[in-house]
Structure 1
Amino acid sequence: MPTQSLQIPTADGQADAFAAFPADGGPHPGVLMYPDGFGIRPVLREMAAELAEHGYYVLVPNTFYRHGPAPVLELPEHIGEEARPAIFARLMPMIEAHTTERILRDAEAYVEFLTARPEVGPGPVATTGYCIGGLLATHTAAAHPDRVAALAAFHAPVAAAGPDRLHRITARAHFGHAATDLTPEALGELNRTLDAAGLEYTSEIYPGTVHGFTMADTDAFDPAALKRHWESLLALLDRAL
C-alpha cells in the first residue's frame, strides 16, 4: 500500500502528515483520519493502510505539530500502564493548549488540503478519529457540513463538542463508545441531543471495552471491538461516499 509524507500549510505553520492510498493512483474518496492523543506511530500507519486497502485516500495529520514533528512524544513499542503517567504528564499540556480555535483553523487547512489532492475524487469527504481525534473529527464535520458527508468517532468525548456544534453536522455519523467512558444514562442523553440535531447516526457502547480499545499497542486493545469498529466504519463510508 503506497504511503507518502506530506506537509500541510496551516494558519500557524506547517503540519506534517502522511497519506495512505490505493496503488492505482485514484481518484478515490478522501478520508481525514485524526490520531488519538498518542499521535502518529506504527499502529496509526497500519490502520490508515488498512482503510486505504478498501479504496480510500487516507490523510493523517500530526495534530500537535506546533510542538514538533511526529513523533512528538517518545513512546514505547507497547504503551502499558506503567508508562502512562510519564506520557500523560507531557501529553496533557498539549491537549489543553489545543483550543477550539486551533482545532477549527487546522480543520480548515486539513479539509482544503485533502480535497485538493489529485488522488482524491470530487465530492464530499469523510472524517474519523480516535479518543481526542474523535472530538476533532466531530468539530471538523460541524465546521464543514457542505464538505464532510461521513463522521466516525471511537472512544471519543463526543459530547464535549457541545449541542450547538452537534446541531451543525449534516454528515451521516457513527459513534462507538467504550463501556468505561459512557454510562447508559449518559449515552441516552447524548443520543437525545443527536436526535434533536436531526442527525442520521448510530451511537452505541461497545460492550466490555475500555477507553482506547482500537489501539493495538495499548493495554486497552480489544480485537473483537476493533473488528466491530472496522465493520461500522466501512459500512458508514460505503453509504455516505
Structure 2
Amino acid sequence: MGIQIQVDAKDGSGKFSAYMAVPASGEGPGLILLQEIFGVNGTMRQIADYYAEEGYLVLVPDLFWRQEPNVELNYDEASWQKAFGFYQGFDQDKGVEDIDAAITALKARQEFTGGVGVLGFCLGARMAYLAACRCDVDAAVGYYGMGIENHLDEADNIRGRLVLHFAENDEYCPAAARNDIHAALEPREKVELYTYPGVDHAFARPASEHYHKPSALMAHERSVAVLRKTIGPDYNLSHLWDKHCEYEFNTRNVEDTMATMVAEPYVNHIPTLTGGVGYKDLYRFYKHHFVDVNPGDTHLIPISRTIGDTQIVDELLFCFTHDREIDWLVPGIAPTGKYVEIPLLAVVKFRGDKLYHEHIYWDQASVLVQLGVLDPTGLPVAGRETAAKLLDETLPSNTLMPTWPNSENKN
C-alpha cells in the first residue's frame, strides 16, 4: 500500500527515508508511527497499512538513519543483538528532532487534512512520550515503552492527550517504573494509563512469542478511540451499519453487502460457528448460505444501540417464519413452519468507514424450543418468552427457578 518518501532533517545534516501509507479516501489526519528497535521492518509497514485502513495518513520515519540508513531487522537472535546495538547507539534527542521533521513533512503533504498523532512501540513508545512533551502533537500513544520513568520531569510540557499501554510482566518496564509513571501522570486530566495483566513485552506484535490477542485488541480499541476524539476522522458508524443490514435483508444484494466491508473481513455467528473469514469464504457464505436463505418475512426489531469509536453493539429481536432450511441459524433442521422471535446481539467492529467483523450472539436453545425440536421440560430454557420479556420487563421473572418461592419471606 505504501511508498517511501524523503524527509529533510531539521539540523541540515541530510535526508532520511519514511514509509508512508495513505487511506483509501486519499486523505486523512496525520499519524507518525514510531518503530521498535528493529527498524522500519515488515511489521512496522503492516501496522502503518493497518492504521491507513483506519483512515489515517501514516508516516513511519527511519529513526536509526544517523547510525545506518534503512535498518530492517527480523526477530532472530542475531537480529536481536544487532537491534540492541542500534538502541544503545541511538541519540534520542536527535530522534525527537527527526520526529518533529517528520511531523513537518506530514503536514506539508496534500493528503493531510489536519491533526497529528504519534504512536509507538517499545523504543517508539518512549519517543512518542517525548514527542508529546517536546513537539506539537494532538495525541500520543505508547505501547510497552521503556525508560519513560526517566523523563517524567518533562510531563508538564504535554499539551495533547497521552495514552500509555503497559505489560504487567514486562522486564523492560517493571512494576517500580510503572508505579513512578502512574504517580507522575495519572492525576493529569489528559492522560490514560493501562496495564494488561499476565502479558509480557511486545504483547501487541503478532510475530512475537508474547503476542496476546485479547490484550492487543483492547489496546488497539483504546488507541483508536483517543485518536478519533482528538484528530478524527469522524464516521457515522450507525449509518454504515444500517446500509449493510439494508443490503443483507432488504435488497439482498451480496455484492453491495461486501462493498461495505474491508478487503478481508470476517463474520462469526457464535452459537452455530457459521460465517466466513476472508473475502472469498465470506462471499461464498453470504451468497449461498445467508442472504437468500433467510425467510421472506425476516425482520429486525431494534431494541437498543450503543455506538463507540470503533464499533457498534446492537440489541434487537430477530423474527422470521421457519418456512425453509436456514443454514446459518439452524443448519440441518427441516422447515417447521413455526414463527420465531429471538433476542439477538450484534457486535460490529469497523476499520475506518468499512465493517471489519461481526460477532453475532443469540440463545440457540430458545430457537430450538420455538421450532419444537427441543423439549424444554425439566430444562432451564425458554422459548418465545425470552423475546416477550425483552419487550416487557414486567413479565414474571425467575419462573425457571424451582427455589424462587422458597425465598419469598426471607430477609
Instruction: Using the TM superposition, give the Cα deviation of residue 136 of structure 1 relative to its aligned residue in structure 2, in angstroms.
Output: 0.9
In structure 1, the residue matched to 2:193 is 203
Larger Rg over CA atoms: 2
Whether 1:98 and 2:90 are equivalent positions in the alignment is yes
Range that drifts further, 186-195 or 214-223: 186-195
Whether 1:174 and 2:173 are equivalent positions in the alignment is no
Instruction: Using the TM superposition, give the Cα deviation of residue 101 of structure 1 relative to its aligned residue in structure 2, in angstroms.
Output: 2.4
Cα distance change of structure 1 residues 118 and 158 upon mapping to structure 2, 3 Å threshold = farther
Select 1:151's aligned residue among 137, 140, 156: 140
In structure 2, the residue matched to 1:68 is 68
Whether 1:189 and 2:180 are equivalent positions in the alignment is yes
Cα distance between partner residues in 1 of 2:211 and 2:88: 25
Cα distance between partner residues in 1 of 2:67 and 2:31: 24
Q: Is the 8 A contact 2:4 2:20 kept in 1?
A: yes
In structure 1, the residue matched to 2:292 is none
Cα distance change of structure 1 residues 174 and 89 upon mapping to structure 2, 3 Å threshold = same
SS of the aligned residue for 2:50 comes to helix
Select 2:119's aligned residue among 112, 117, 128: 128
Cα distance change of structure 1 residues 95 and 160 upon mapping to structure 2, 3 Å threshold = farther
Cα distance between partner residues in 2 of 1:153 and 1:177: 9
Cα distance change of structure 1 residues 127 and 236 upon mapping to structure 2, 3 Å threshold = same
How many residues are treated as equivalent by the alignment? 227
In structure 2, the residue matched to 1:36 is 36
Task: Kindly provide the amino acid, as one letter, of the partner of residue 227 in structure 2.
Answer: L
Cα distance between partner residues in 1 of 2:104 and 2:150: 22
In structure 2, the residue matched to 1:229 is 219
Whether 1:89 and 2:94 are equivalent positions in the alignment is no
In structure 2, the residue matched to 1:25 is 26
Cα distance between partner residues in 2 of 1:103 and 1:118: 25
- Bigger relative contact order, structure 1 or 2 (CA pairs below 8 A, ≥6 apart): 1
In structure 2, the residue matched to 1:4 is 3
Q: Is the 8 A contact 1:33 1:128 kept in 2?
A: yes
Cα distance change of structure 1 residues 93 and 42 upon mapping to structure 2, 3 Å threshold = closer
In structure 2, the residue matched to 1:13 is 14
Q: Is the 8 A contact 2:149 2:178 kept in 1?
A: no
Q: Is the 8 A contact 1:171 1:199 kept in 2?
A: no
Cα distance between partner residues in 1 of 2:189 and 2:118: 16
Cα distance change of structure 1 residues 189 and 57 upon mapping to structure 2, 3 Å threshold = same
Instruction: Using the TM superposition, give the Cα deviation of residue 73 of structure 1 relative to its aligned residue in structure 2, in angstroms.
Output: 4.5
In structure 1, the residue matched to 2:202 is 212
Cα distance change of structure 1 residues 73 and 54 upon mapping to structure 2, 3 Å threshold = closer
Unaligned 5+ segments in structure 1 are none
TM-score (ref. length: structure 2): 0.52
Q: Supply the RMSD in Å over aligned alpha carbons.
A: 1.9
Cα distance change of structure 1 residues 161 and 95 upon mapping to structure 2, 3 Å threshold = same
Unaligned 5+ segments in structure 2 are 232-411
Percent same amino acid among aligned pairs? 24
Task: Kindly provide the amino acid, as one letter, of the partner of residue 211 in structure 1.
Answer: H
Select 1:140's aligned residue among 106, 131, 142: 131
TM-score (ref. length: structure 1): 0.86
Q: Is the 8 A contact 2:186 2:192 kept in 1?
A: no
More helix by share: 1
Cα distance change of structure 1 residues 65 and 209 upon mapping to structure 2, 3 Å threshold = same
SS of the aligned residue for 2:210 comes to coil
Instruction: Using the TM superposition, give the Cα deviation of residue 90 of structure 1 relative to its aligned residue in structure 2, in angstroms.
Output: 1.8
Q: Deviations over 1:139-179 (max 9, x none)?
A: 111112xx311110001125245122222111111110011
Task: Kindly provide the amino acid, as one letter, of the partner of residue 179 in structure 2.
Answer: G
Cα distance between partner residues in 1 of 2:208 and 2:129: 24
Cα distance change of structure 1 residues 160 and 189 upon mapping to structure 2, 3 Å threshold = closer
Cα distance between partner residues in 2 of 1:228 and 1:118: 33
